Structure 1
Amino acid sequence: MLKFVFWLLAGVNLLVLAIGQGYLGSFRTETREPARLKNQLQAGKLTLLTQEQATAPAAPPAAEEAEKPVAAVPAPPTTYACTEVGNFLLADGRRFEAQVAALDLGDRQSRRNVAGQEVSSYMVYIPPQGSKEGAERKAGELKQLGVTNYFIMGDGSPMRWGISLGVFKSESGAQSQLASLNKQGVHSARIGPRYSSSKQLAFQFRDLDAATRTRLEKIKAQFPEQELRNCK
């Protein structure tokens, strides 16, 4: 029994000695693992953090990065889906068409016929008198002034019970007749255009960019009586 106790104590002493000498490793060393840190790749760049540093909230992004402006998206170029110019009498339409040929629009340009009216002549007249009796009374006054070339307009005329004093091909001819009547004492006469149906032209242009539209407007400016509009 004494031998057993002796050897037991001896074994315990040897175990304590081995632990103290580090033959069996150090519990303190194994817990903190400094050797493992030394064996990490680029160990010099590692930094040990305290508990306070590890639990601190992440820093907000730098002010420059936070305020960096967003790049603006360029606006799409302006285009005009369909532009129409007109309505032209045939001669003016041909002149206009010759000038817009320089725009080289190909099948983006077209023309269409438009029913319209044009001045065919000019009439010297006395406005409607309201009734047949009124027109005849005015005709009697004309006779007394020496005017015999007149015509009372009756049913079917938009100037019913007016008096025609002549129809002229040109406005200048009508002006000469009016001046002659004024000398005779006729001061109620007027000059008015007479219209007839005619074929007119309207031109359409599709998918124009801003620059081409501007060039078209400059050409149209040479025809001030014409209208530039969006297609219906």
Structure 2
Amino acid sequence: MLKFVFWLLAAINLLVLAIGQGYLGSFRSETREPARLQAQLQADKLKLLSEVQAQAIVTPPAAAPETPAAANAPQSYACTEVGSFLLADGRRFEAQLDALALGDRQSRRNVPGQEISSYMVYIPSQGSKEGADRKAGELKQLGVTNYFVMGEGSPMRWGISLGVFKSEDSAQSQLAALNKRGVHSARVGPRYSASKQLSYQFRDLDAATHARLVEIKAKFPEQELRSCK
């Protein structure tokens, strides 16, 4: 009987020792976090991340900024147009374009326009035939007899023409003579007629060539340089 009790106690002690050393596994359902990490495969390679670090991994990187090569690409001008030139001025403009050697990047086209054909000395519209007749009577009293009342069919109807001249200087001389005779309501204005004019287009110009074109155009200050399609 004593031997049985001795061996029973010895067996119990061995069982307690085995459980304490973990030879029979753990019966606890809860394990602290550091111990659980150690139990993972390759636990030494795991790394805890902060919220900022985790967000940096999820968010894609921003697009790369424009490269210096793209920012410094040479400027070009797809389409530039100059004019409308009267025929004589257009020929002079063309002659100066030869130095640019543009070839088929240069083109010319005809555009409708108007040109000054003469200059008129006139008194503006008096509003009605009666008003024009009264003004004509005043002219007669001042000794002016060379006049013409413009009627219904004229764009300056009920005005009075005091002469048409080829040059502006001649028209201004007539106006000065009328002022001396007491006619102070007269003035000088251009008369226009329809004409064909010339417009020039230039394509795919680099900045240097465009600058040279601007210099040539500056010799024709009445003309406009603009972008086109």
Question: How many Å separate the matches in 1 of 2:173 and 2:46?
Answer: 104
Q: How many residues align?
A: 173
Q: CA deviation at 1:172?
A: 0.6
Correspondences of 1:55-94 after superposition (within 5 Å)? 55=45, 72-75=67-70, 76-94=73-91
Q: Which residue of 2 aligns with 1:155?
A: 152
Partner of 1:99: helix, strand, or coil? helix
Q: What amino acid is aligned across from residue 231 of structure 1 in structure 2?
A: C
What letter is aligned with 2:168? E
Identity of aligned residues (%): 78
Q: Deviations over 1:72-100 (max 9, x none)?
A: 34123221111100000111101110101
Q: Which amino acid aligns with 2:138?
A: E
Q: 2:95 aligns with which of 94, 98, 104?
A: 98
- TM-score (normalised: structure 2): 0.71
Deviation by residue 1:180-212 (Cα, 9 ceiling, x = unmatched): 101110000010000001111000001111111
**Structure 1: runs of 5 or more not aligned:** 1-53, 58-68
Does the residue aligned with 2:122 lie in a helix, a strand or coil? strand
Verify: 1:140 aligned to 2:137, yes or no: yes
1:150 counterpart letter in structure 2: Y
For 2:107, the aligned partner's letter is S
| Largest Rg, 1 or 2 | 1
C-alpha separation in 2, matches of 1:156 and 1:187: 26
Alpha-carbon RMSD across the aligned residues, in angstroms, is 2.2
Q: What residue in structure 2 maps to residue 120 of structure 1?
A: 117
Which residue type is aligned with residue 142 of structure 2? L
Looking at structure 2, the residues matched to 163 and 72 of structure 1 have their Cα atoms a distance apart, in angstroms, of 70
1:71 positional shift: 9.4
Gaps of 5+ in 2: 1-43, 48-63
Runs of 4+ in 1 over 6 A off after TM superposition: none
TM-score (norm 1): 0.70
Question: How far did 1:156 drift?
Answer: 1.4
Amino acid at match of 2:228: C
